[in-house]
Amino acid sequence: MTVKQQKNGSWLCHIDKKGFKRIRRVFADESDANIFNRETLASMNAKRDQITDSRTLRELINLWYKYHGVNLSDNVRTKSILDTMANAMGNPKASALSAEHFVDYRFERINNGLSAKTFNNHHGYLSAMFNKLKKLKVIDYDNPIEGIEFIKLQQRQLTYLSVDQINTLMDDIQHHCVNKSTWYVAQLCVRTGARWGEAERLLRQQLHTNRVTFVKTKSKKLRTVPLDPVFYKKLISFVGNKNPSERVFTNCIGAFRRAVKRTGIELPTGQNSHILRHSFASHFVINGGNILTLQKILGHADIHTTLKYAHLAPDHLQDAILYGPLHD
Pairing of strands 207-208, 2-5: unpaired
CA 327 from chain centre, in angstroms, equals 42
Known catalytic membership, residue 277? yes
Q: How far apart are CA 215 and CA 212, in angstroms?
A: 10
Say which of 132, 201, 258, 274 is annotated catalytic.
Answer: 274
Q: Do residues 26 and 18 lie in contact, with contact meaning Cβ atoms separated by under 8 Å? A: no
Dump the DSSP string for 192-224: H---HHHHHT-BGGGEETTEEEE-S-TTS--EE
Known catalytic membership, residue 274? yes
CB neighbourhood size of 12 (10 A)? 14
Instruction: Give strand ranges (E) for the chain.
Output: 2-5, 11-15, 23-27, 207-208, 211-214, 223-226
Q: How far apart are CA 225 and CA 192, in angstroms?
A: 6
CA 278 from chain centre, in angstroms, equals 15
CB neighbourhood size of 49 (10 A)? 8
Say which of 191, 195, 223, 283 is annotated catalytic.
Answer: 195
Say which of 191, 277, 278, 283 is annotated catalytic.
Answer: 277
Say which of 218, 258, 262, 308 is annotated catalytic.
Answer: 218
Known catalytic membership, residue 109? no
Known catalytic membership, residue 278? no
The arrangement of strands across the sheet holding 211-214 comes to 207-208, 211-214, 223-226
Which sequence positions are flagged as catalytic? Answer: 195, 218, 274, 277, 300, 309
